[in-house]
């Protein structure tokens, strides 16, 4: 990687497919609010093309946002990966480092801030995660930051649920697993994070009016999801909120400045 100079002004989101990404709208709104003459693009890059793309970056680049399928594929290509991102096997942010490029994960920050800005208050002790994919792993790390001590992982595939539960245990959380079938007791925790596609959470909506904890539904199109619409508590966050706050943290890391979160939020489609 070339030395970074004073003319750093480029950033981008990489992935495949990438045309649907909302990251350019968020980051460009931040640059406008900060009066930075930077550019931010969405660039189609798959796993095979990622090594060459990274090698070709020069000192004008402030960082990269990564989406699927690159979050895990990038890890062996980086000179440094922070401990949390390595444990999650998910890097969504690449930044210049002392000896190359370093990786971190702002999805965790995005989940935490989405819940807090939605109104999560007090000390949550229990949580449920619906699903056991990459977002579920980030959700577990977010629950650690929030001080949750007990989590239930619900998934169709018990091997996947056990893997996420093992991750939670490695962070010091007491973890158990359940099938994905709707159960009221599973929704009775202080926080519920659904990583399911919008329609997949519909069976849980029948029980949701009795829920009293906070909900983060990572799905956001269309919104509200059946689960969010039926939720019995007013503390509800969406994947749109998570997307906003993970981008806010990326802008902070890339620019070293305090991001204009309200302007970034206004740049998202309603």
What are the tens digits of pLDDT across the range 13-60? Answer: 999 999 999 999 999 999 999 999 999 999 999 999 999 999 999 999
DSSP state of 7: T
CATH class of 10-105: alpha beta
Count Cβ atoms within 10 A of the Cβ of residue 137 and give its class: 0-12 exposed, 13-18 middle, 19 or more buried.
buried
Distance between first and last Cα of the chain:
39
Q: Measured between alpha carbons, how far is residue 199 from residues 160, 205, 226, 239, 270 in Å?
A: 20, 10, 7, 14, 20
pLDDT value, residue 142: 98
| 264 part of the active site | no
Non-local CB neighbours of 185 within 8 Å, separated by 6+ positions: none
Taking alpha carbons only, the member of 258, 247, 251, 7 closest to residue 113 is: 247
**Ramachandran area for residue 133 (φ above 0: left; ψ -120 to 50: alpha; else beta):** beta
Q: What is the mean pLDDT of the chain?
A: 95
CB neighbour burial string for 82-104, b if at least 16 within 10 angstroms, e if fewer: eebbbbbebbbbbbbeeeebbbb
Average pLDDT of span 124-147:
97
Query: Quick one: DSSP state of residue 188?
Result: G
Domain positions in the chain are 10-105, 109-241
Q: How many residues does the chain have?
A: 270
User: How wide is the angle at C-alpha 10 spanned by C-alphas 9 and 13, nearest 5°?
Assistant: 150
pLDDT band at 64 (very low <50, low <70, confident <90, very high): very high
Residue 2 has pLDDT above 70, yes or no: no
**Quick one: average pLDDT of 193-211?**
92
CATH of 109-241, one of 3.60.70.12, 3.40.50.720, 2.60.40.3080, 1.10.10.10: 3.40.50.720
Which value, in Å, is the radius of gyration of the alpha carbons in the chain?
19
Say if residue 270's pLDDT is above 80: no
Q: Is the pLDDT of residue 263 over 50?
A: yes
Is 109-241 in the same CATH topology as 10-105?
yes
Tens-digit pLDDT profile for residues 151-200? 999 999 999 999 999 999 999 999 999 999 899 999 999 999 999 987 88
Find the helix or strand (DSSP H, E) in which 30 lies: helix 23-33
Residue 104 C-alpha from the chain's centroid: 11
Q: How many CA atoms lie within 13 A of 217 on its CB side?
A: 26
Find the helix or strand (DSSP H, E) in which 149 lies: none
Predicted pLDDT of residue 48: 98
What are φ and ψ of residue 150, in 5° steps?
A: -140, 125
Q: Which of 28, 71, 137, 240 is catalytic?
A: 71
Per-residue model confidence as pLDDT tens digits over 94-134: 999 988 999 999 999 999 999 999 999 999 999 999 999 99
pLDDT-based confidence at residue 217 (cuts at 50, 70, 90):
very high
pLDDT band at 6 (very low <50, low <70, confident <90, very high): low
């Amino acid at each position: 990687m070339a030395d970074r100079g004073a003319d750093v002004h480029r950033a981008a989101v990489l992935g495949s497919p990438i045309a649907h990404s909302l990251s350019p709208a968020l980051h460009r709104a931040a640059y406008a609010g900060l009066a930075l003459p930077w550019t931010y693009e969405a660039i189609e890059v798959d796993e095979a093309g990622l090594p060459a793309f990274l090698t070709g970056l020069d000192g004008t680049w402030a960082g990269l946002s990564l989406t699927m399928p690159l979050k895990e594929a990038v890890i062996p290509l980086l000179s440094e990966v922070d401990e949390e991102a390595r444990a999650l096997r998910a890097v969504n942010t690449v930044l210049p480092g002392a000896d190359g490029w370093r990786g971190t994960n702002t999805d965790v920050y995005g989940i935490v801030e989405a819940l807090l800005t939605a109104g999560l208050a007090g000390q949550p002790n229990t949580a449920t995660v619906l699903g056991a994919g990459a977002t579920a792993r980030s959700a577990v790390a977010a629950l650690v930051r929030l001080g949750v001590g007990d989590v239930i992982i619900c998934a169709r595939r018990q091997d996947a649920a056990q893997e996420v539960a093992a991750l939670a245990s490695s962070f010091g959380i007491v973890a158990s697993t359940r099938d994905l079938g709707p159960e009221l007791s599973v929704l009775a925790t202080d926080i519920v994070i659904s990583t399911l596609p919008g329609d997949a959470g519909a069976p849980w909506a029948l029980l949701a009016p009795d829920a009293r904890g906070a909900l983060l539904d990572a799905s956001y199109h269309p919104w509200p999801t059946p689960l969010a619409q039926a939720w019995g508590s007013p503390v509800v966050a969406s994947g749109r909120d998570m997307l906003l706050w993970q981008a806010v943290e990326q802008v902070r890391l890339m620019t070293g400045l305090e991001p204009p979160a309200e302007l970034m939020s206004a740049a998202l489609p309603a």
